[in-house]
Structure 1
Amino acid sequence: MLYWALVFLVVAIIAGLFGFGGIASASAGIAQILFFIFLILFVVALVARAMRGRAP
């Protein structure tokens, strides 16, 4: 998922350089949403790992 966020970020930067404002803002928005979803899933995985603890 982080890969796709980076892909959309690169697309947004390239589209912004060429002057395609609508495409750039849409791609940047998608990248931002994917990044936050990845971040939330990462935190949930860390908490789940901490709650599980070590096996005896």
Structure 2
Amino acid sequence: MQQTLLTPCPSALPPLTDGTGGDVALTMTAWASQYHSCATRHNGLIEALEDRQ
């Protein structure tokens, strides 16, 4: 099993710093990136476990 599949998802998201439109856009982009990375690992782990059955 790939070691990267066993990496836990971050427990905290980057905070908004000043609430301006640009800050909100950058922060939401960071959140989306973090979610995608975690979802990719989670789905990969599920597939790897299903393949072992």
TM-score band by shorter chain is 0.5 to 0.7
Q: Which residue of 1 aligns with 2:25?
A: 25
1:8-27, Cα deviation, whole Å (9 max, x unpaired): 3xx24x744xxx11111111
1:1-56 pair list within 5 angstroms: 1-4=9-12, 7-8=13-14, 11-12=15-16, 15-16=18-19, 20-53=20-53
Q: Number of residue pairs matched?
A: 45
Moved beyond 2 Å, runs of 4+: 1-4
- Kindly name which structure, 1 or 2, has the bigger radius of gyration based on alpha carbons: 1
Tell me by how many angstroms 1:3 deviates. 2.3
Query: Normalized against structure 1, the TM-score is what?
Result: 0.63
Structure 1, unaligned stretches of length 5 or more?
none
- Decide whether the 8 Å contact of 1:15 with 1:23 is kept in 2: yes
Query: Normalized against structure 2, the TM-score is what?
Result: 0.66
Structure 2, unaligned stretches of length 5 or more?
1-8
SS in structure 2 at match of 1:3: coil
